[in-house]
Each structure stands twice: as structure tokens, then as C-alpha cells.
């Protein structure tokens, strides 16, 4: 299949899993044409086709419960049950049992593309080296959560040096009109149960966010509570695109499993309510974009932390880790950079093809 055919096939499958928001899906198609970094983020379903075709040897590597749709902007902050700010992977929508190499190569490719679109300034080879160094060290050391308190001062100053302006944050949400039609019953129940008080008065809005999930239903409950505003989001949860590609007869996401078994400080406000992901939205609990980071931050160190956090997730697959270590020991020093270059070319060709048919 080419990209257009794969997109149509995936979206037909998607429509069987959940209700599609057509205007959001059209917006997704537009953003896929905008730049190659956005194209990569929006088309994980296409990545897994290209990945198995162009990196077939890596696709046979030992499997772990992995992120799937990993990239350098799939990291964010949240507060744990102690109120501490934690940092790590932000989204597990596409989590699945897959070769450990998938997450590493996809993360490396995204760093290449971030460099090509001026989101990062270091050399691609150095980016891959930093990612791999962090991953390999964390595997050997057993990993560890990133709590931005008395430790990881450099990371704290990098990712939360400019917390979102709360006034602008709430102004943006408050500017979205209230939904006039009923939302799905499960979504309504999920949002109501996530609020701090039973029957707390709130209004519902439709939120447009993300790229890979753009086109799926996403609702937010806004309320005033004890002197300030609060928000809870419910996003439609579907199985990984790996199910679409493999044509397996599975209808469950592994989101809960990967979050619970990873080495991290959990977000107490993140819950799965049947087929909805529910989480808190707040100015300092959100995805971290590269363009939000302070100028002159240590990119090598940040990418090394991303590699470590990837290992934190993979270490949850305890029985597979020795196989992963043995597989890594047999690979050349530059294997990740070599694979990333192969996939960058494949993605660029695919993106150019998409732009031609999307005109």
C-alpha cells in the first residue's frame, strides 16, 4: 500500500473502533502535509508498515511492551500523589508488544526530523548516541523515575522553567464553546467520576489536540472548585494500530498495563474508564514541546534522559530484559544512527507522496 491507501484503510478500521470527528480528521490531513515532523507524529499506522519493510532485521529483535508511537515531543510533566512534579513519556495510546528497537529507532528518527525542522540544533549522530547511551545505562542500572524535586535540577529548570501561564491556559479553554449535544454516556460518566465532588457543576467542551489521535472524540469538563478552575479530559481509547496492521481480532488497549508496570511515579489523575482515557489538565501538567524549552538548554542531556525514560518503560517487561541486553551487545556502535537514516529517507519519500495526493 502507498500512504493514501494505508490512510484510507486505517481510517476505515478506526471508524469501526470509535466515532470519528470528521472536521478534526480533515485538520489532521492538513497538518500531515505541513512538515515531515508532523507527518511522522500523525501516521504511526504508516510507520509500522515502513518499519517492517525497511528495518526487517530490527523488527525481529526481542519484544517488550513498548510505547509504539514514541517521539521527542511525547514527553511531559504531571504531579504524583505526593504533589511532586514528575517527567516522562506522556502518551501510551499505541502501546503494544513489539521489538524494543521500534521505540529507540522511532525516537532517533524524530530527533533527526526535529533537527531538520530547527527544533533541535545538535548533530543527528550525536542525538542518536545520547539516546542510546541513556537507554543502555538505564537498562544496566535498573532505571528510575524522574521526579523533578531535589534531584534532576537541570531537567527541572529545562522543562518547567516556564510553566504555562495559568491565565492564558484557562483563557484558551474558556474560549471554547460549550457542547450543545449530549456526549457519549460513558464519557460523561468518566468525566463526572473524575471531578473532586459528586454532582459538581461543570460545562463540557470539545478539545482539539494532538496529531496521532486527532479525529477521535476528546471532551473536557470545566468547573470552578474551591477558589479556582479545574479541568478533566476524556479521550476515546482504541487498540494500537498494530492490531489494524496484523488484522488480529483484539479490541483492548494495553494502556493500563504499560503504565502500571513501567518504572515511574504514576499520575493519580490518569485513569481508564472502559474505553476512555481520563486525566487532569492543568498549566503544569502537560506535554512538553521543544519550542517551549529555554534557549541554550543541554540537548545531549535531555535526549539521554529520553533514552533513560524509554528504558524505564521497557524494564516493565522483566522477563525480556536479558534478551534485550544480549541483543544490544551484538549490535554495532552506530546501529541506531544507521537505522534512523534509513527510516528518515523512507518517511520523507512517503511524506512527499502524501503531499502530492493531498493537494
Q: What is the 3-state secondary structure (H, E, C) of the chain?
A: CCHHHHHHHHHHHHHHHCCECHHHHHHHHHHHHHCHHHHHHHCHHHHHHHHHHHCCCHHHCCEEEECCCCCCCCEEEEECCCCCEEEEECCCCCCEEEEHHHHHHHHHHHHHHHHHCCCCCCCHHHHHHHHHHHHHHHHHHCCCCEECCCCCHHHHHHHCCCCCCHHHHHHHHHCCCECCCCCCHHHHHHHHHHCCCCCCCCEEEECCCCCCCECECEEEEEEEECCEEEEEEEEECCCCHHHHHHCCCCCCCCHHHHHHHCCCCCCCCCEEECCEEEEEEECCECECCHHHCCCCCCHHHHHHHHHHHHHHHHCCCHHHHHHHHHHHHCCCCCHHHHHHHHHHHHHHHHHHHHHHHHC
pTM of the model: 0.94
246 lies in a domain? Answer: yes
Does some domain include residue 183? no
Residue 147 included in any domain: yes
Q: Is the pLDDT of residue 162 over 70?
A: no
Task: Identify whether 50 is part of a domain.
Answer: yes
- In-domain check, residue 258: yes
Per-residue pLDDT, 90: 92
Q: What's the total number of domains in the chain?
A: 1
Asked if residue 353 belongs to a domain, the reply is yes
197 assigned to some structural domain: no
User: How large is the average pLDDT for residues 60-74?
Assistant: 96
* Percentage of the chain lying above the pLDDT 70 cut: 98
Q: Tell me if 232 is assigned to some domain.
A: no
Say what the pLDDT of residue 130 is. 97
Amino acid at each position: 500500500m502507498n500512504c493514501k491507501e494505508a490512510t484510507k484503510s486505517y481510517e476505515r478500521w478506526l471508524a469501526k473502533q470509535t466515532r470519528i470527528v470528521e472536521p478534526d480528521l480533515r485538520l489532521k490531513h492538513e497538518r500531515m502535509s505541513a512538515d515531515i515532523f508532523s507527518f511522522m507524529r500523525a501516521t504511526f499506522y504508516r510507520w509500522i508498515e515502513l518499519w517492517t519493510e525497511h528495518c526487517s532485521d530490527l523488527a525481529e529483535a526481542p519484544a517488550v511492551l513498548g510505547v509504539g508511537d514514541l517521539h521527542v515531543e511525547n514527553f511531559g510533566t504531571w504531579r504524583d500523589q505526593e504533589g511532586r512534579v514528575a517527567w516522562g513519556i506522556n502518551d501510551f495510546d499505541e502501546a503494544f508488544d513489539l521489538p524494543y528497537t521500534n521505540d529507540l529507532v522511532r525516537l532517533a528518527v524524530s530527533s533527526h526530523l526535529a533537527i531538520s525542522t530547527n527544533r533541535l540544533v545538535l548533530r543527528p549522530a550525536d542525538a542518536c548516541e545520547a539516546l542510546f547511551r541513556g537507554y543502555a545505562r538505564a537498562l544496566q542500572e535498573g532505571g528510575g523515575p524522574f521526579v523533578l524535586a531535589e534531584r534532576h535540577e537541570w531537567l527541572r529548570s529545562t522543562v518547567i522553567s516556564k510553566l504555562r501561564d495559568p491565565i492564558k491556559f484557562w483563557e484558551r479553554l474558556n474560549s471554547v464553546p460549550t457542547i450543545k449535544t449530549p456526549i457519549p454516556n460513558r464519557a460523561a460518566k468518566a468525566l463526572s467520576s473524575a471531578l473532586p465532588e459528586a454532582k459538581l457543576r461543570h460545562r463540557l467542551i470539545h478539545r482539539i489536540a494532538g496529531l496521532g489521535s486527532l479525529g477521535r472524540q476528546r471532551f473536557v469538563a470545566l468547573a470552578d472548585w474551591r477558589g479556582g478552575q479545574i479541568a478533566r479530559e476524556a479521550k476515546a481509547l482504541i487498540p494500537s494500530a498494530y492490531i489494524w496492521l496484523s488484522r488480529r481480532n483484539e479490541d483492548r488497549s494495553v494502556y493500563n498495563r504499560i503504565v502500571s508496570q513501567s518504572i515511574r511515579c504514576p499520575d493519580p489523575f490518569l485513569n481508564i474508564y472502559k474505553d476512555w482515557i481520563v486525566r487532569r489538565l492543568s498549566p503544569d501538567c502537560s506535554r512538553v514541546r521543544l519550542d517551549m524549552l529555554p534557549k541554550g538548554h543541554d540537548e545531549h542531556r535531555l535526549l539521554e534522559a529520553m533514552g533513560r525514560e524509554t528504558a524505564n518503560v521497557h524494564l516493565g517487561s522483566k522477563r525480556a530484559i536479558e534478551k534485550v541486553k544480549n541483543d544490544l551487545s551484538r549490535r554495532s556502535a552506530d546501529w541506531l544512527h544507521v537505522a534512523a537514516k534509513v527510516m528518515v529517507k523512507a518517511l520523507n519519500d512517503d511524506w512527499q507522496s502524501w503531499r502530492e495526493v493531498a493537494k
